[in-house]
Amino acid sequence: MIPSLVTGAWQEGDPLGARMFADIGDIVLDSGRTLPQVRLAYQTWGTYDGSNAVLVLHALTGDSHVTGPAGPGHVSPGWWDALVGPGRAIDTDRLFVVAANILGGCQGSTGPASLDPDGRHWGGSFPALTVRDQVRAEMALADLLGIPCWHSVIGGSAGGMRALEWAIEAPDRVDRLFLLATSAAASADQIALSTTQMDAIRADGAYAGGDYYDGPHGPLNGLGLARRIAHISYRSEHELAQRFGRDTQDDGRFAIESYLQHHGAKLVSRFDANSYVVLSDAMNSHDVGRGRGGVTSALSRITARAVVAGIDSDRLYPIHQQQELAENIHGSAPLAVVTSDHGHDGFLVEADQVGDLARRLMG
């Protein structure tokens, strides 16, 4: 087992929690490489009746634990606990909800902290992934679970990227589509923020080109700094001004400084630096129009009934990006705007507004 001073990744021998595992075999990647012996960790809730399966896709640092308490195997409570469960907006009394840890992640699915076929940690040799590669793995999981068509595919942020790819690449497998705070392609602004975070990790002396798992320390400082940079973009200027302003603490730190350090430390306890780099790089690859005649042409392939929502205070995924989706997906309702002071994280925080939209789509 890898020491906690190296990575927060889930490892063989750690408590399983509610995880299950699917061995989906080899995945041929967009790069032309083959990733062998791929495994996805996943969780399910509810009972499958042949037509009620819902795929919930997590964002960059999420995982398969969408709903449920913290406990052995799960450092944090479910990240969408207010929306998914019996009687909730995504009602597990009548729907069969599936959530998988993303390919390249660090909570049980094949990723850089996993062992390669030779029994060594992949580390820096783990191949580059695209969003389409990740969806290819999720399609293999759906096949293994015997789910030919999803009642709904739901995703926010990076999860929305994968939801889009699902609906474009396999329109006959997606009946309804819920997109939150996402885009048709990664923008220059988003790539700039992402690559700066990746460079913060690589600049940590413990990174060692990604081959740090056998060392006494991992690039935890770099990962924490990357999270702090990201978290600024996840929240709104108005919220930070109202909550923290120029207040200082007894130790002399600005309150906002302490807040960001806290969030950096929280991520370090449950995530892996290599996965952060691999997943960020995959998000930067996102462009639904690549090889499909452009964004408008790609979006015209979607046949699902759709709801697209943006957050009015989102400075990371500004609302014009969701407007583009709503205008070019033929089956989309007009753009829904979630009112929030919380910026991009509003898709996680505003459970009442997001829940109302989910009910409208899912009936």
Active site residues: 157, 314, 344
- Of the candidates 361, 154, 191, the one whose C-alpha atom is nearest the C-alpha of residue 280 is 191
Rounded Cα distance between 129 and 33, Å, is: 10
> Which is it for the CA torsion 215, 216, 219, 224, positive or negative?
positive
